[in-house]
Structure 1
Amino acid sequence: MTSKNTNLEQLYDYLNDEEDARTCKAIDEEACNETPNNYFLLLVSNMLTSLGDTLSNPKTVLTWIMSFVNAPVMLISFIVPIRESGSMLPQLLIAHYIRKKPVRKYVWVLGSLIQFLAVAGIGLVALFFEGLAAGWLIIGCLILFSLARGLCSIAFKDVLGKTIPKQKRGKLKGYTASISGVLVLLAGLYIVYKSQDDVGIEFYSYLIFFAASLWLIAAFVYANIKEFPGETEGGNNGLAEAWKKIEILKTDKQFRNFVITRSLLLCSALTAPYYVLLAQRYVGKEAYLLGFFVIANGIASIISAPVWGKMADKSSRKVMTYSALITSGLGLLVIAIIIFIPAFKDKIWLYPVAFFILGIAHQGVRLGRKTYIVDMAEGNQRTDYVAVSNTVIGIILLITGGVSALASLISVEGIIAVLSILGIFGAIKSTTLPEVE
């Protein structure tokens, strides 16, 4: 425990409801003394990368750019599953390398620098290539980006667990998402403003270049985190170790149930593009709609993330349950409106409002599952949990990525209905998980 002797410490204690002395649950005294400084370094670096993620989102901006350069629709359909699953599938192999490192923040820094290069590469491709060549080059950059993102994913959770106490981690992620939401809101307003002009590919390329620069800045910020050496056992023979770690799913019932729950909760992420498709079908494809969806998502983060974060520090299991129910209820409600109140289906406000509510629910799913897995384990066990979980989810994402191909066989409304029902099962399954806070 430390006394409040700097403005930074006072702000940290205020944000985390600390009073006379600081509590440091699940980290040692040495790390506790560095917590306030590390807290804000983590907040700033992740705020920057969150904004970068939004400005290079495959569901919106990247799809827009690939269409602009006349890339084949077949390649466009691959960008969402590649970005999401590509960062998860290699993690079981990457984890053994990370386990060898007593200090793991530099793994995150490396991943962030590679993401900077990959996203900047997408901007260059958009400026100088078109058609099939542009499509394949963007896919290549996206694969590199996803692999680097996998490095950051594992390293971040390890560094978070070593530097930030339990019952403070959810708030940190909540504040990060909320501040990022403000920046996303401003970015969305700017896109709406620029949509009044006849913008060309240069505008979208420069948007991507700006997004890339955020990962570069974040890498320098993250490098200043004070991380003390930790466990390094079990860091050899990557492929063999990877297969051994899969056994966790058989032997650890709590972890297995968490992975099943997380798989069902993918509905909040997978549903999002179909709200955009509904808007394009019933309202139109005007450029301002892109800005409206970005704004809706930003406002959702601002409003909901701190609330979800505080709730997750008390019960991340309940956060997963509530957010899954919101996702499912929203999907079924929108379908009911389209079917039974057809006069509403071409209203401009309907889809951004629905996207806003979905954004609130998705923040809950993300903060709930991330806080749960970090609090469920410590040390190298946390690294194993994250790696196995993300690898399994990556495989499931590749399988469900084919859902987009079903859009031509069944209605978009039908896909939303199926995902909503899966969300209900996810909410039910989450209630069987034990509390970990």
Structure 2
Amino acid sequence: MSTKTKLSLEKLYDLVNNEEDARICKDIPDSACQYTPKNYFVILFSNTLTKLGDTLSNPKTVLAWIMNYINAPVFLISFIVPIRESGSMLPQILIANYIRKLPVRKWIWVIGSILQAIALVGMGFTALNYSGTLAGWLIVGLLVVFSLSRGLCSVASKDVLGKTIPKTRRGTLKGYTVSVSGVLVLVAGLYLLFKSEEESTISFYSYILFFAASLWIIAALIYSFIFERKGETDGGANGFTEAISKLKLIKTDTQFRNFVISRSLLLCSALTAPYYVVLAQQHTGTESYILGLFIISNGIASIISAPIWGKMADRSSKDVMSKAALVTAILGILVFIIVTWIPTLKTLVWTYPIAFFILGIAHSGVRLGRKTYIVDMAGGNKRTDYVAVSNTLIGFILLVTGSIGALASTISTEGIILVLSLLGLVGAYKSYQLPNVE
């Protein structure tokens, strides 16, 4: 890096972090401090690209859209959200100990990103050349590879961030990443929104996956330029062994057990999402602008709702969980009524993006409420135990609840939404019964 570029990065870093005199380097060694500006923007650019890639390969929107377009069975579509989430969650407790034995961990992130890109290329190729059940199984298999690779990146990124960015600057970095990627997501949605109908071909949708894959490749290349000093290789205890040993908390800790039950029932906000996309295709068509509407509505929902839910969660996180779950359940019931008995609304294009927008707001509340609740419920080592056990259990429960898509052979798509929404009603009630922890 030239001296001029280095000085420019330092000035920009000081500007965005409001640093005037000495640079703050809390929680990282002084020897790494001089590389903080460079590492800051390397992480910012690479994470922004992968977040945009995440949106362009989102199982709730893009993948659900593509799988339904190529006539993959609905029961396979029902597994893509659980696999995406649990596939990246469960392996973390197995691989974290190994990764932390490595003195330099950025290459794990690079490898994970390249593997995700390869998986997406495989999905795009599958969509171009196959259809039906075979295509569905191939995409699900590639999604498993994608999710496991995502787990590699997740564990490595936390360690690299802790070694290269000062403690008081990590939140700001995440905030800028969300803001920049949010703008790019809206641009991507608008691009799809204004594409003409003749672009609504499987080739067009496959190219979206290819473009998303290229973002991960570029991100991996950028991330490789991080300056990471060799770190400790102690690693600590094996995460999986620790989690299994703490499973007795479910039996002995009533409040924690009720929280896990509530969180399991609240999964309806994530699991119902792909079915809204399927309904839109079934009743309004497969034009690319409809997919664009889904991407835009979901992006805006997250941006505008998170601050509101956050303030509410500071007062009562269990109420946020309950209210958000109630919105999800009522919405699902209304969609079932519309599709079953109101044909004029059923075939209206805007019905489904608007419903998806409301679902996005509710899902944001569910996520924020349950994350706040488990943090406030206990402190210290007990909090660590709660997170390890709940994530392990929810990972398995996600896979089990994904099998509800097997009902597609006996009931309709809107019927599955109804079943999940009724479970959401129970989840809202169970969340309301939890004690306040704030």
Q: TM-score, normalised by structure 2?
A: 0.76
- From the superposition, tell whether residues 146 and 191 of structure 1 become closer, same or farther in structure 2 (CA, over 3 Å): same
Residues 320 and 369, structure 2, Cα contact 8 Å, conserved in 1: no
Distance 2:159 2:314 in 1: 18
Distance 1:370 1:24 in 2: 28
Distance 1:291 1:50 in 2: 17
Matched residue type, 2:148: L
Matched residue type, 1:329: V
Residues 174 and 367, structure 1, Cα contact 8 Å, conserved in 2: no
Distance 2:316 2:163 in 1: 25
- From the superposition, tell whether residues 77 and 413 of structure 1 become closer, same or farther in structure 2 (CA, over 3 Å): closer
Matches within 5 A, 1:17-416: 27-28=27-28, 30=30, 37-161=38-162, 172-197=173-198, 199-227=200-228, 229-230=231-232, 232-234=234-236, 240=241, 243-244=244-245, 246=247, 262-280=263-281, 283=284, 286-304=287-305, 307=307, 311=310, 322=320, 325-333=323-331, 335-336=333-334, 339=337, 342=342, 346-366=347-367, 388-406=389-407, 408-409=410-411, 411-412=415-416, 414-416=418-420
- From the superposition, tell whether residues 259 and 151 of structure 1 become closer, same or farther in structure 2 (CA, over 3 Å): farther
CA-based RMSD: 4.3
Over residues 50-73 of structure 1, what are the superposed CA-to-partner deviations in whole Å (9 max), with x where a residue is unaligned?
A: 211221122332233334444445
Deviation at 1:332, TM superposition (A): 1.3
- From the superposition, tell whether residues 207 and 232 of structure 1 become closer, same or farther in structure 2 (CA, over 3 Å): same
In the alignment, which of 406, 422, 425 is matched to residue 418 of structure 1? 422
Over residues 241-290 of structure 1, what are the superposed CA-to-partner deviations in whole Å (9 max), with x where a residue is unaligned?
A: 66446567678899777755644443331232243345456655554322
Residues 28 and 165, structure 2, Cα contact 8 Å, conserved in 1: no
Distance 1:165 1:90 in 2: 28
Residues 28 and 162, structure 2, Cα contact 8 Å, conserved in 1: no
Radius of gyration: which is bigger?
A: 2
Over residues 127-171 of structure 1, what are the superposed CA-to-partner deviations in whole Å (9 max), with x where a residue is unaligned?
A: 334444433332322121111112122333444455556676555
Matched residue type, 2:17: Y
Deviation at 1:39, TM superposition (A): 4.2
Deviation at 1:377, TM superposition (A): 8.0
Over residues 3-44 of structure 1, what are the superposed CA-to-partner deviations in whole Å (9 max), with x where a residue is unaligned?
A: x9622122123xxxx78887777x356477765554443333
Single out whichever of 45-54 and 169-178 deviates more from structure 2. Answer: 169-178
Corresponding residue pairs, total: 420
Distance 1:35 1:396 in 2: 40
Residues 115 and 149, structure 1, Cα contact 8 Å, conserved in 2: yes
Distance 2:251 2:228 in 1: 33
SS in 1 for 2:359: helix
Distance 1:222 1:429 in 2: 45
Residues 56 and 212, structure 2, Cα contact 8 Å, conserved in 1: yes
Deviation at 1:393, TM superposition (A): 1.7
Deviation at 1:396, TM superposition (A): 0.9
Matched residue type, 1:399: V
Distance 1:104 1:196 in 2: 45
SS in 1 for 2:221: helix
SS in 1 for 2:197: coil
- From the superposition, tell whether residues 198 and 36 of structure 1 become closer, same or farther in structure 2 (CA, over 3 Å): closer
Unaligned runs of 5+ in 2: 1-8
Residues 317 and 433, structure 1, Cα contact 8 Å, conserved in 2: no
Deviation at 1:398, TM superposition (A): 0.9
In the alignment, which of 7, 26, 32 is matched to residue 12 of structure 2? 7
Deviation at 1:208, TM superposition (A): 0.8
Deviation at 1:123, TM superposition (A): 1.7
Distance 1:420 1:76 in 2: 20
- From the superposition, tell whether residues 47 and 134 of structure 1 become closer, same or farther in structure 2 (CA, over 3 Å): same
- From the superposition, tell whether residues 420 and 96 of structure 1 become closer, same or farther in structure 2 (CA, over 3 Å): same
- From the superposition, tell whether residues 5 and 98 of structure 1 become closer, same or farther in structure 2 (CA, over 3 Å): closer
Over residues 297-331 of structure 1, what are the superposed CA-to-partner deviations in whole Å (9 max), with x where a residue is unaligned?
A: 122344445x379x48x977956753662353254
Over residues 208-237 of structure 1, what are the superposed CA-to-partner deviations in whole Å (9 max), with x where a residue is unaligned?
A: 11011111122233334455524624356x
Distance 2:101 2:259 in 1: 26
Unaligned runs of 5+ in 1: none
Q: TM-score, normalised by structure 1?
A: 0.76
Distance 1:244 1:63 in 2: 37
